[in-house]
Amino acid sequence: MKNTPFEHRIIASPHDIDELGHVNNVVYVRYIQEVAAAHWNTIASDALKSTYLWVVLRHEIDYKNPAFLNEEIIGTTWVGESHGARFERFVKLVRASDQKVLIESKTMWCLLDGKSMRPVRIGDDILSIL
């Protein structure tokens, strides 16, 4: 398993901002999933993408600092342990301008067979590219 950190950049848009004037906590969940999807779409072959799907089983998020309109956010992700059809994915979002950590998260993902929609053990074909 490679386990190389992957970076994805995000700009906080007007739709992401709440009544407090910063990125809403729920939007961070979307950012976490966006970073994870960007990683998968970058490293997985078309064959892997057409064979498998991922679903979230659990998110754990620690909110550290707010992000504001038009700020550039650097999302970094890497994977942790895998067990059967499940694996951990970590995401850290950092404000680009000052490197302040905005959130840190741990998400448990489950691999599904794209046809049956049932959990399937994570094989070497996937572990070798993560």
Assess if residue 1 is contained within a domain.
no
Q: How far apart are CA 114 and CA 26, in angstroms?
A: 27
Domain count, the chain: 1
CA nearest to 95, candidates 18, 31, 33, 34: 31
Q: Residue 24's domain is classified under what CATH number?
A: 3.10.129.10
Section 49-75 average pLDDT: 98
Section 30-53 average pLDDT: 97
Section 43-61 average pLDDT: 97
Check residue 2 and give its pLDDT.
Answer: 64
Q: With a cut of 80, say whether residue 1 has pLDDT above it.
A: no
pTM above 0.85, yes or no: yes
Range of the domain at 43: 6-127
pLDDT above 70 coverage of the chain, percent = 98
